[in-house]
Chain A
Amino acid sequence: MSLAFLVPLFLLGVAGVVIPIVVHLTRRQRRNVVHFPSLMFLEKIPYQEQRRRRIQHWFLLSLRALALALVVAAFARPFFDQSSGAALGSGGPREIVVLLDRSYSMEIDDQIEQARDAAEGIFADLGPLDRASLVTFSRGAEVVVRSTSDRSRLRGALDTLTAGSGATRYGPALKVAQTILEESTLALGEVYLLSDFQRNGWTGDEGVSLPPGSSLLPIEIGTEREPDNLMVADVSLPRQIVAGRERITPTARVVRRGGEAPTTVSVSLDLDGQEIQTREVTLAPNSAQPVQFQPFTLSQPHTTGTVRLDDNALGADNAHHFVVSPGSSLSVLIVNGAGGSSDPSLYLRGALEISDDGRFEVRTRRSSTIRPVDLDGAAAVFINDVQLDGGSAERLRSFVEEGGGVLVALGQDGGWPASAADMLPGTIGSIQDRLQGRGGTLGYLDYEHPIFEVFSGPRSGDFTGARFYRARDFTPSDSAAVIARFDDGSVALAEVRLGRGRVLLWTTSLDSFWNDLALQPVYLPFVHRLAEHLGGRTEALPWFVAGQVVDLADPDALETAGLVSSEAAGLAEGLDQIALSPTGGNVPLPAGDGPRYLPLEEHGFYTVRQPGTDPDRPFVIAVNVDLEESNLGRVEPDELVLQIEAPTVVDDGSPRLTQAVELQREDQERRQSLWRWLLVAALALFILETVISNWVSRRTTGAAGAVAG
């Protein structure tokens, strides 16, 4: 360890030490004349010029010179160079990135503690010129400490580290490591991956490529054997209306991974924090069992529930949380023509009335006119094969602009008044027959649209079986969106937004005259989706998965989160809110024009309320862990290393190394900050010098004053 200077050029300023001496020797003598009777004797004394210039107060001069030297030294930025030749001899300083897995699987057998110990060991072995970063990761990666040689900072960051609720994803963490190494000025890079190496976290196409000169060093945490893990994989919450009240029959799916012998586990159901029921279930190794609980009546909004298992290897997936609120029925008005013996709405009404949870309240009006009273409380209106008058169309316009939804189904008698033609998503044309072959089919469905989203999965509804023999020709407007087309390319379903609501146009009938869709199994869910979409209903999610984010300023998002519509509107309007995390942390959500994102990082219940209030039934969001993490199958660390492009160590010359050393010196100087102490010492010396010189001056002035007198 030796004393070095970061800016040695400033040491030239030491020449300034001579300033006090020069000032002393060159300053004009003060015009202090003493009248003396005779210089007879003084003139006889051998006079030497040097005497006048001789320095009388060496101590004062030394203080001044020392203070100036300290100031100069402070500007030269001194530091004790702790670098050693050994660090350079081993290939130069290293940029070390420690990737520490804090997914919830790391809580098994205190693996997070082991990972922290391993990281501390790595930081303890840092060379004087090495720099290290600490990156924690689960689903995402977070740079906790970036590129420092300050071991205390690194250790401090480790001290507060705990396992989170996220699942393991190696990709983001390795990408962060890649970025750090690419931006580093140090020649060598080492990435330490501290994880339990769950296979689920690695997809193989992360596209990570560490820069040349760097290497990936996996450190496996935990035991090799796969633990016996039980989890609540899912909870279904089907609703029924019994005696006008909603009843929910929770059914949990308990999964066991690993294990060697059958085991019996206790499964309990908590509602609003109180244990309601307990079931015993026996699971063979690597098996799953459904556990059905007794139904409970749902009367209160934001009722929290948890299905819980006995403690086992992994605790986070032993509980499955959910939040349910009593549902409200959607009021649907069906308008069809008054004439004719057949009922064009037979299938439509029947489909809407079939539901266990009574989600639709259906009213039918047989008339070509719609009265204002008909629209009271209605959320969706089906204009089924009827020609409305202009006044009714204008009433519907107001209804839609205020948030309602209208579907116009064009059958034999259907039509639309020309005065309100701008309400429709296009222009209605003539009737087109598809008589050749077996008629037309639906050739295109927008599966990203909320209506068809539920049918996007395999075996989730087949529209191809439906035959369409007749439909209205339709030319969509520029603002319209075509959601479904027939196989000949003509429009089957189009949508246009009007105000806060929407208008859909179905170019064929909803009964079985022009097509046989009403006879297909997919008809019922299709009609339900139509009604829900028109009514603006969003399916509430009983729980979220850790890592998701909810925008509390978005009413749709709030409805999805289970907040009832009236509360959602109030919350979105913008009052200050605060979210309490499951571990008791506060997440302030101040009011503002922008989004109010609530990151759901912990599993459990997030409570959202206004600061300073304590409502009886606060808005609660349930968060469960990502069950992918419950699969504790491991990937071989070496296999993972091999899949990452193996970099080769390239010594790209000394300038980079020199630059790195310079950076290291600067870092050492910054951490030691000796210049501050030097400036303080210089200030103290200046003060001391001032006090002493004033004292000396006063003493001398006293003698001179006597002369003047």
Chain B
Amino acid sequence: MAHTRPRHSAAGTQFLDPAVLGRIGNLELLARTVVDGFLTGLHRSPYLGFSMDFAEHRPYMPGDDIRRIDWKLYARTDRHYIKLFEADTNANFSVLLDLSSSMSYGSHSLTKLDYARYLAACLAYFSNKQRDRVGLVTFDHEVVDYVPPSMKHLDTILHTLDRATAGRPGSLAEPILRITEMLSRKGILVVISDFYEEPDAVLKALGPLRARGHDVIVFHVMDPYELEFPFEEASGFEDLETGEQIPVIPGKLRSDYLTMVNAHLEALEKRFTDNQIDYRLLNTSKPLDAALFEYLLSRERMSKAR
């Protein structure tokens, strides 16, 4: 499962153990620690960003998007020039955080929700530092909290993340539909969830977001125990969302379980990729900044592709 292993391509980068981050109570401090350290380690941002500021003109080359031809300059010079922008500091960046009960699971000191909150905080901090408007939507089977995207809402977001708890059953379709209505302006949407729904249902739920023209980035947060199922003793397994309990002999079910989980992950990745949704599987035992790093790399690749 290559996607479960972060590719530590940045040699020499010191990644932070999620367990260490868990001991930092202040989310802003945590986000700053992660992001600043990450940027310092990176020396220079490899990513130019989505800024709309004009950078330069270059002659039109066959194959270039004709929508980017600066017609005003053409009027003056009678030549085709392509208009390049340096960065867009006013993009909307929203984090859609799943607070369903299943997110409260954690086999070690960090639950999936903790990990997701840290990730959300880091992304918000990072985006805010890039002068994006950052927003937050938390949801389970309905929208729990909504912080509209704004340059000034970072503190609110961090505060909201800080008191976010998982305790109710969750579903994607209903709250995402509601969020789609709320986020009228196109932007970058980061969905953080464990996606305990059928891949098709997940894609159907996220489809409206994509249809509205949002750039959707999906972070699939999974605990290592969910990925490896290392249980030995026969026990009663209780569903955190439904409370349902079934007796399980892990040794006998492990192979079947792993097969199904892997199939599920592969299906999700395939569906998202096919629909130009950036998909990342995050193992909560892996360093958070490594995840962030991978995310940025992928965004860079996406940007270049565009």
Contact = CB atoms under 8 A, between A and B. Distances in A.
Interface of A: 29, 31-45, 47, 51-52, 54, 56, 699-701, 703-704, 706-707, 709
A37 B249 contact: no
Contacts of B237: 33-34, 36, 39, 42
Interface residues of B, number: 39
A31 to B, nearest CB: 8
Given A33-B236, A38-B241, A707 B249 contact: no
26 contacts: A29-B247, A32-B236, A33-B236, A33-B237, A34-B236, A34-B238, A35-B105, A35-B238, A36-B238, A37-B103, A37-B194, A37-B239, A37-B241, A38-B196, A38-B241, A39-B244, A39-B246, A41-B257, A45-B253, A45-B257, A54-B249, A701-B233, A704-B233, A704-B235, A707-B235, A709-B107
Contact of B230 (A35, A39, A706): A706
B80 interface: no
A122 B246 CA distance: 78
Interface string B250-268: 0111001100110010000
Ordered nearest first, which 9 A-B pairs have the shortest CB separation?
A37-B102, A703-B232, A38-B196, A37-B105, A39-B239, A41-B260, A32-B235, A45-B256, A34-B235
Contact of A32 (B196, B226, B233, B256): B233
Nearest to A56: B251
B248 interface: yes
B240 A41 contact: no
A42 B257 contact: yes
B240 A37 contact: yes
B225 to A, nearest CB: 8
B135 to A, nearest CB: 27
A41 B263 CA distance: 11
B220 interface: no
A51 B225 CA distance: 22
Contacts of A703: 230-233
Nearest to B197: A40
A706 B240 CA distance: 18
B289 interface: no
Interface of B: 101-103, 105, 107-108, 112, 194, 196, 223, 225-226, 230-242, 244-249, 251-253, 256-257, 260-261, 264
A52 to B, nearest CB: 6
Nearest to A31: B236
A707 B105 CA distance: 11
A56 B232 CA distance: 11
Given A39-B239, A42-B248, A52 B196 contact: no
A538 B231 CA distance: 103
A381 B232 CA distance: 113
Contact of B226 (A37, A51, A707): A37
B102 A38 contact: yes
A700 B233 contact: yes
A163 B20 CA distance: 98
A47 B246 contact: yes
A700 to B, nearest CB: 5
A697 to B, nearest CB: 9
A700 B236 CA distance: 15
Nearest to B264: A41
Contact of B240 (A31, A32, A35): A35
A633 B112 CA distance: 116
Contacts of B241: 37-38
A152 B256 CA distance: 68
Contacts of A37: 101-103, 105, 112, 194, 196, 223, 226, 239-241
Contacts of A32: 233-236
A81 B250 CA distance: 52
B254 to A, nearest CB: 10
B252 A54 contact: yes
B245 A33 contact: yes
Contact of A51 (B103, B232, B252): B252
A33 to B, nearest CB: 5
A221 B47 CA distance: 124
A703 B250 CA distance: 11
B92 to A, nearest CB: 30
A588 B102 CA distance: 93
Residue with the highest number of chain B CB atoms closer than 10 Å, among A42, A43, A703: A42
Given A33-B237, A56-B251, 20 more contacts: A32-B233, A32-B234, A32-B236, A34-B235, A34-B236, A35-B105, A36-B226, A36-B237, A36-B239, A37-B223, A39-B244, A40-B196, A42-B246, A44-B260, A45-B257, A51-B249, A52-B234, A707-B225, A707-B231, A709-B108
A706 B107 contact: yes
A41 B105 CA distance: 16
Contacts of A54: 249, 252
A29 B233 CA distance: 11
Nearest to B239: A39
A41 B225 CA distance: 13
